[in-house]
Structure 1
Amino acid sequence: MKAVRKEKVCILSGNYGDGHLQAAHAIQESARLHIPEVETLLVDFMECVHPYFHSIGRSIFIEGVKNFPSIYGYIYRKTRPVNRFSLFMKPFNHLGIWRMIRLLQETQPSIVVSTFPLAACMISKVKELGLTSADAVTVITDHTDHSSWIHPYTDRYIVGSEFVRTSLNQLEVEDEKIRVTGIPVRPEFCKTYNRNALRDKFNLDRERPTVLIMGGGFGIIGEGLSKLLSSELVSQSLQIIVVCGHNEKLRQELERYQTVSKHVLLVTGYVNYIHELMALSDFMITKPGGVTTAEAIAMELPMLLYKPLPGQEQDNAQFLINSGVALYAEQEADLHRYLTQMLESPEVLAKIKGNFRHLHSKWAASRALDVIIKKGV
């Protein structure tokens, strides 16, 4: 009997933002659940190719985005199309390529999946050099396009929507290489939960309006939200859950509101039960990261987007607004107005909830996995 070839999938991600890593975990978990015979290996790309620069580089990136968002936004826009500037930047992404070649030689994957744009760039270069025969699959983790994701030796692109497919077509990516699956999210976000049981679990009132606030994996939360915690923006008493991610300093700062606010406050750092917090909440105030908003879409949780960073977050916000699943507060006055609408006008939330069914984001990781191993389209 002829031996059946076992697929081995190497998933390259990066923690320059939590979404890339979450999408990678979603694909890996889906493989373990649905196709256990597929072997998966999850690798932190930056740690692999830049082990000495990785930590400091990550810190510089995070601080740069927080403190100089306009510069980040300018570079993002400047390099969005394939042009001389974006092409000039790409050779710098090949630094450390010999470490990636060594990893591929040691692990011998049949498929390499990139949920991080720098990884997609390097794998394309390795294929160009003829040093791997593995299929190269890129998973775009935002609701938008950018040239940093697009490389000539990529075999398949997995995207979140027809809008992104069309955007890639305009950037001269062949349509047959693109598959629309939704942005992969972990299975926990695709299930149905008992809201009352979850509110009991976290000692929350079953009837009081509950707002979830998320600032991304690094807990970037603006001044307007601090005023919400101190009771200045709304008159009624709320239950407010604030997830600060990896920002321990922010968590400690916000905990002081617990004794002075008229609201019931639950402040957390990085947690692995975001799906439960989403399930028990009425709506979420968040920055529009690609994977976080994909998780909310899967949970059918209405969103109020606040002060997105220039670049992909602004693009994500525009997609979500156009899709009718989010409202957008650019200024503090907008935050107050939309908060009032969402709290006092049930029809606003009902309209948003009705729009979720058009986005088909549940079980996107399973559909993405089928594309990765060529079982589906």
Structure 2
Amino acid sequence: MTQPPRRLLLVSATIGEGHNATARAVEEAARARWPECSVTWVDALELMGSWVPRTFQRIYVTNVESTPWLYDFFYAALWRQRWFADGCRRFVGSWCGRRLRPLLAARRPNLIVSTYPLGTAGLDWLRGRGQLDVPIAAVISDFAPHPFWVYSRIDLHYVMSENGLRAAHRAQPRSVHAVSAPPVETRFHPRDKAAARRDCGLPAEGRVLLISCGSLGFGSVERAAEAALRTGIDRVVVLCGHNDALLRRLRHRADQDARLVPLSWVRDVPAYTAAADVVVTNAGGATALEALACGRPVLMVEPIAGHGRANALLMAEAGLAELCEDAGALTKTVHRLLAEPAELRAAEQRVLDHLAATGRFADQVAELAHLRVPSQPRRLRAQDAFFVHADSAEVPQQTGAVLSLSSTDRAMTTADWIDHLGGLISSRAPDLPMLHHRLSTPHGHRPCWVPVREISVPDHLSHHELRTGDPRERDEVERDFFTTPLRRDRPPWSAKLVREPGTERVTILIKMHHALGDGLAMTSSLLRLVSDVPPEPPAPAAPVPSGPRRAAIVLRGLLSLAATSAAPAATAPRNSTSARRFAWLELPADEVRDCASAHRVTRSALLLAVLAEALHRLDENNAVQRSLRAMVPRSTGESDDDFGNHAAGVAVDLPLGPMAPRRRLNEVAARLGRSQAHGRPQAAAAVLRALAALPAPLHARAVRAAYRARFFQALVSIMPGRVEPASIAGASLHTAHPVLPLADGVGLAVGMLHWAERTGIGITTDPGLFADVDKLADHLRDAFTALREAEPAGVDS
């Protein structure tokens, strides 16, 4: 949705006034930003049954006031027992969702915002059954999200802080979140205390403490008032809400101490909040958010059970509240704040800084007009999930590239480069699926892609200024970049700009999780991200054969795979390490093309033969291993989606024994041809899909058992790349060196990418398994020279 919504539905509930207060803030913002939009409300509890609101409120009050241990037990169970939380959410979601369905059909909203968790559960239930195709947002009016608040099928959840983001992700790893300003009406804003006190009839001088524990006024209100009165505070204002019994008791107490000002339900809560020096509350819901919006420090005293304590802990962790476990602690805290005004000012400044950082809630409501529909987590395809399960600390499945640029056509500082690339990421990444999904891997469940609403440039782009021209410094920067694991709380890709000293030449290092895509997908997305003239999306793949024909191809491929000989004997298997070494080289692309043409082989066969010759030269005295099995990804031609892996690995045994270079080339070409014939790539892809049908834990075990040195000894990927040169900020991108990951026990991976006038080759090794990466790079150059100089096919030697 890109146009302002015409019909907005707010899903709230009257259980206290917090959820309604949040809904009023959403409505105010919507009416201001979308004047033509009609806004309607629904009370989720009333919709669930006429008896439900009163019953649920009675249960809530009883739990908080009489059986807090039971509420704590229920709240803890939601976190500790996932099956319990899921069962409760499904039950409530089904109940509320069935009641919401006819109302939605009648009102036909084109945007729904929920401020009540049970209502959100119903919307999630409907979305899961394909019965709700309009954007859905949830505004969480508690500081601490909990499992009843957060759902995987809701397009966006607004939470209150960065640590709230982490809690929401823990509650539901597949959900989508963003931080918002306090969701309160604009009446709640920082204002002059003296003016606010005049409006409230309070003295302009002295210190004022406000106690407000929601519309129900329950909890430790009286103990908090007594604790405050034991200090030198000038006024203690208590908002009793609808709790008439509390009001009567406090009025009796006020006859004994004139500093106490008990009030019933008041309409001008913003004025009383702004008039206070500090606000005391016990739940961390709407009252605390209103205090923050007014720029007032918050003290949380004897938090109520369950979500109240969770709110208090998160607010304290964020530096936006101070937790007082009992009345004595509150007395000491107020004493300290009165004695040290600078500390009170510092607490107030932290709140104001938070407000400045989170922006305006009205702007965030306006952003809901741009929600994509639907932005549900999507399960990884079999080829992509394979690399999630193969990933480990020793063999992280991260692929990448080293992009070498010439000088720009204009002088650019490092800051200019960062600004340029950051602008491209901000404007283009949201339109590239590969770059705005994060990986969710819940334990025991299948991995999923979760769409990310906003791309934070600093999370994905960094830079390094080389101090010297020493190649060892560059090697260290590159090794550190490519071996640092990608974070899972954001889209798993990263870029680093490396600037050479005394020149305008730069190198861009790119890495991403292999589950995002293969080399072709990565190349396509990178070009569309950073090129001055982004290329068109990849052309659609050739039509997939019909069902019977495709089944015949796969069956023939499976029979061919079954007839494949066992892997060549290799040295005794050894364990992988997390260390890596890299080497880069390039060959003239026209010479590669001409050499392959002269020998009447493909460029892939030529480069595989170059590698085989180099490996032979690296260890010419090896009388044991006469062949090395390389796993070579080949396209299956089954998808036109540029997000994900669309190749399947086929085994190619590279001959290592002594033989003439041309004979080795002919042998490699024949073996490569056989590996691609008879539907082997399609059969390999079918095997991956079959494995993915297993339960997630078994799928992971199968992948780890298969993707290891027992079945192959090297990984080799040869990618077509790009014929026409590309430019970034006017600088020619003249070479791209691929960076491949390893597999368990496999110490060598070689990537080859044809790019304009050069064929870039990147070598990745585990030094504990393959120590001679620089020697291999030298032998690759010599091997190519030997094959280029060898007599071509059809010429007598």
TM-score of the superposed pair, with normalisation by structure 2: 0.44
For residue 239 of structure 2, what is the amino acid of its counterpart?
V
CA–CA distance in structure 1, aligned partners of residues 279 and 233 of structure 2: 16
Deviation string 1:181-206 (CA, Å, 9 cap, x unpaired) is: 1331111113x433223322332211
**Stretch deviating more after TM superposition (55-64 or 247-256):** 55-64
SS of 2:322 mapped into structure 1 = strand
Decide whether aligned partners of structure 1 residues 5 and 308 sit closer, same or farther in structure 2, where only a CA change above 3 A counts.
Answer: closer
Q: Is 1:112 equivalent to 2:112 in the alignment?
A: yes
Tell me if 1:205 matches 2:189. no
Residue identity matched to 1:268: L
> Among 342, 351, 369, which residue is 1:347 paired with?
342
Decide whether the 8 Å contact of 1:80 with 1:86 is kept in 2.
yes
Q: Which moved more, 1:314-323 or 1:24-33?
A: 314-323
Quick check: 1:184–1:368 contact (8 Å CA) kept in 2?
A: no
Q: Which of 294, 298, 304 is matched with 2:289 structurally?
A: 294
Q: Which residue of 1 aligns with 2:363?
A: 367
Residue identity matched to 2:185: R
Q: Matches of 1:107 and 1:147 in 2, distance apart?
A: 29
* Aligned CA distance change for structure 1 residues 194 and 331 (closer, same or farther; 3 Å): closer
Amino acid at match of 2:368: I
The reply to whether residue 91 of structure 1 matches residue 90 of structure 2 is: yes
Q: Which has the higher strand share?
A: 2
Q: Which residue, out of 195, 212, 236, partners 1:240?
A: 236
| Amino acid in structure 2 at the alignment position of 1:137 | A
**Letter matched to residue 21 of structure 2:** Q
Q: 1:82 deviation in Å? A: 6.8
Would you say 1:328 and 2:323 are equivalent positions? Answer: yes
Offset at residue 96 of structure 1 (A): 4.9
Query: Relative to 1, partners in 2 of residues 1:330 and 1:96: Cα closer, same or farther, differing over 3 Å?
Result: closer
Q: Distance in 2 between matches of 1:82 and 1:186?
A: 37
Change (3 A) 1:226 1:278: closer
1:307 counterpart = 2:302:
yes
How far apart, CA to CA, are the structure 2 residues paired with 1:82 and 1:146? Answer: 13
Partner deviation per Cα, 1:248-296 (whole Å, 9 max, x = no partner): 2111221112221141x32222222111001111111111323221211
Choose 281-290 or 355-364, whichever is displaced more. 355-364
**Aligned residue type for 1:203:** G
Contact 2:281 2:298 in 1 (8 A): yes
Which structure 2 residues correspond to residues 160-309 of structure 1 after superposition, within 5 A? 160-174=160-174, 177-190=176-189, 192-222=190-220, 223-228=222-227, 231=229, 233-234=230-231, 236=232, 238-263=234-259, 265-309=260-304
Residue 153 (1) aligns with residue 153 (2)? yes
Q: Distance in 2 between matches of 1:172 and 1:331?
A: 32
Runs of 4+ aligned residues of structure 1 deviating over 6 Å after TM superposition are none
247 and 364 in structure 1: CA distance in 2 versus 1, 3 angstrom threshold: farther
Aligned-partner Cα distance in 2 for 1:26–1:290? 14
Residue identity in the other structure for 2:270 = H
SS in 1 for 2:370: coil
Aligned to 1:70: 69
Q: 1:82 and 1:110, CA in 2 relative to 1: closer, same or farther beyond 3 A?
A: farther
Aligned equivalents of 1:304 and 1:5: distance in 2?
39
Contact 2:9–2:111 under 8 Å retained in 1: yes
Residue identity opposite 1:194 in structure 2 = D
**C-alpha distance in structure 2 between counterparts of 1:287 and 1:343, whole Å:** 21
**Structure 1 residue 169: deviation in Å?**
3.0
Q: Supply the AA of the counterpart residue of 1:270.
A: W
Q: Secondary structure at the match of 1:72?
A: helix
Q: Report percent identity of matched pairs.
A: 23
Q: Is contact 1:224-1:335 (8 Å) kept?
A: no
* Structure 2 CA distance for aligned equivalents of residues 99 and 169 of structure 1: 28
* In 2, Cα distance between equivalents of 1:57 and 1:262: 38
For residues 10 and 76 of structure 2, what CA distance do their matches in structure 1 show? 28
**Matched AA of 1:178:** H
Q: How many residues align?
A: 368
Counterpart of 1:143? 143
Cα distance between partner residues in 1 of 2:56 and 2:4: 39
Indicate conservation of the 8 Å contact 1:140/1:183, yes or no. Answer: no
1:208 alignment partner, SS class: coil
Partner secondary structure for residue 79 of structure 2: coil
SS at match of 1:22: helix
Give distance in 2, aligned partners of 1:114 and 1:82.
Answer: 25
SS at match of 1:240: strand
CA offset digits 1:165-194 (Å, max 9, x no partner): 22333445347x32221331111113x433
CA distance in 1 between partners of 2:90 and 2:69 (Å) = 24
**Could you say which structure has the higher helix fraction?**
1
Does the aligned pair in 1 maintain the 2:159–2:177 contact within 8 Å?
yes
Residue equivalent to 2:654: none
Tell me which amino acid in the other structure corresponds to 2:39: T
CA spacing shift, 1:244–1:277, aligned 2, 3 Å: same
Which residue identity lines up with residue 334 of structure 1 in the other structure?
Answer: A
Secondary structure in 2 aligned to 1:33? Answer: helix
Q: State the match for 1:35 in structure 2.
A: 34
Residues 73 and 309 of structure 1 are in contact (CA less than 8 Å); yes or no, is this contact kept in structure 2?
no
Query: What displacement does 1:351 show?
Result: 1.5
Q: Match for 2:254: what amino acid?
A: Q
Residues 220 and 97 (structure 1 numbering): CA distance in 2 closer, same or farther, change over 3 Å? same
Instruction: Structure 1: give runs of 5+ residues left out of the alignment.
Output: none
Residue 102 of structure 1, CA deviation: 1.3
AA aligned opposite 1:104: L
Tell me the residue number matched to 1:56.
55
Task: State whether residues 8 and 112 of structure 2, in contact with CA within 8 Å, keep that contact through their aligned partners in structure 1.
Answer: yes
Unpaired runs of at least 5, structure 2? 372-452, 455-797
Letter of the 1:157 partner, please give it.
H
Letter in 1 for 2:51: Y
Per-residue CA deviations over 1:199-248 (Å, capped at 9, x if unaligned) read 2233221112111111122102424224247x4x12x3621211011212
User: Equivalent residue for 2:126?
Assistant: 126
Give the aligned residue type for 2:192.
N
Which structure has the higher relative contact order (CA within 8 Å, separation 6+)? Answer: 1
> CA separation in 1, counterparts of 2:352 and 2:195?
25
CA distance in 1, matches of 2:96, 2:314: 35
Distance in 1 of aligned mates of 2:279 and 2:295: 11
Which letter maps to 1:84? W
